[in-house]
Amino acid sequence: MLDSQSIQTISAIVRLLLKEQNISYRVPPFDDKLFQESIDEAVRRGYPMSDDHSLRRYLQDGVNYVATTARHYTHRPTQVWMVLYTAAAFYVDDVPFRFPSEIPKLYLFNDRFVKRQEQENVVLDSLADIICGAPDFFRPILSNLITTSTLDFVTSTLVDLETASMQISSAARQYPTYQRSLSGGAEAFVFMAFPPEVPLTMYIQALPEALQFINELNDVLSFYKEELAGENRNQISIMAARNKESKLEILRRVVDSILDLYKTIMEVLEGSPEASDAFRQFTVGFYHFHFAVQRYKLEDLDL
């Protein structure tokens, strides 16, 4: 359980990050129109929308994500596809905690996807169908990367589950970074920071730093809610265990890394106004998404 001093320290660290990135704490209005369009598209595709094991309960988070991080997209059908994709990804992330009876089906997802077999779970069937539709909205290389990173994301969810009680060795210097790199879902969202019309050559050199930036930013913005829940498999907790340091000290260092990474990314992208503007808007939206979604509990921190 977090004490009041720890909460104040977390709040101060996050406020410093917002100040350095010129981000104001603001909860954006919910996009009801995009929400309804996404429901309509899910129904049109034949996705069940009525019970707990459906995309519907995750669509609100999907809409919040796309309405904030993909506002710069001009093609509405692509935004709707992204809502469905994001909603399905949130479901996968929730399976170990909210739907443990479905874990065996997660283990079979990649194999069944490759073999074009039914997943025996309506949301996983929906995810498989959504992934297969990626080439309709993104160029071949990007759609390939989105597909493979999604499969990696499913695998990383299972790795996190199997290593939940594993003791972290102080000699495993690269393990925290490796563990974070397995979370392939972040790659798909980084690729989608850039609209399809922006040439890959304009931003591909920034992708390594962009991926680390988004992973670390998510770690910081998720840290408070994960501490409240007693979760200890995030990178900050793993680094603290390996280095035998406090989590708050690691949190400060990760914030410094985020700021350095963002500077590097913008330097790499400076030759392309389209790419740099897209990533700038994506970054602002990424913050606003975390402000909008109640699961992160950032309203508690008086930002």
pLDDT digits (tens, 9 = 90+) for 246-303: 999 999 999 999 999 999 999 999 999 999 999 999 999 999 999 999 989 999 999 9
Query: Which among 109, 144, 167 is the end of a domain?
Result: 167
Q: What is the pLDDT of residue 203?
A: 97
My answer on whether 211 and 288 are in the same domain is: yes
pTM of the model: 0.93
What are the distances in angstroms from CA 3 to CA 7, 8, 30? Answer: 6, 9, 32
Return d(Cα 128, Cα 132) in angstroms, integer: 6
Q: Is residue 262 part of a domain?
A: yes
Q: What is the pLDDT of residue 186?
A: 81
Return d(Cα 99, Cα 113) in angstroms, integer: 20
Q: Is residue 114 part of a domain?
A: yes
Domain membership of residue 83 as a residue range: 32-167
Sole residue written with tokens 């309709």? 136
Query: Which among 167, 196, 212 is the end of a domain?
Result: 167
Q: What is the pLDDT of residue 237?
A: 87
The three-class DSSP label of residue 188 is helix
My answer on whether 118 and 158 are in the same domain is: yes
Q: Is residue 173 part of a domain?
A: no
Query: Which among 105, 138, 167 is the end of a domain?
Result: 167
Q: Is residue 175 part of a domain?
A: no
What would the two tokens of residue 70 be? 């993909």
What would the two tokens of residue 86 be? 């994001």
Q: What is the DSSP string of 84-100?
A: HHHHHHHHHHHHHHH-G
Q: What is the tally of structural domains in the chain?
A: 2
Q: Which residues of the chain have pLDDT under 50?
A: none
Q: What is the pLDDT of residue 184?
A: 53
Return d(Cα 125, Cα 109) in angstroms, integer: 9
Return d(Cα 234, Cα 296) in angstroms, integer: 14
Return d(Cα 192, Cα 214) in angstroms, integer: 12
Q: What is the pLDDT of residue 146?
A: 95
Q: Rounded to the nearest 10 degrees, how much is the dihedral formed by the CA atoms of 206, 266, 31, 147?
A: 0
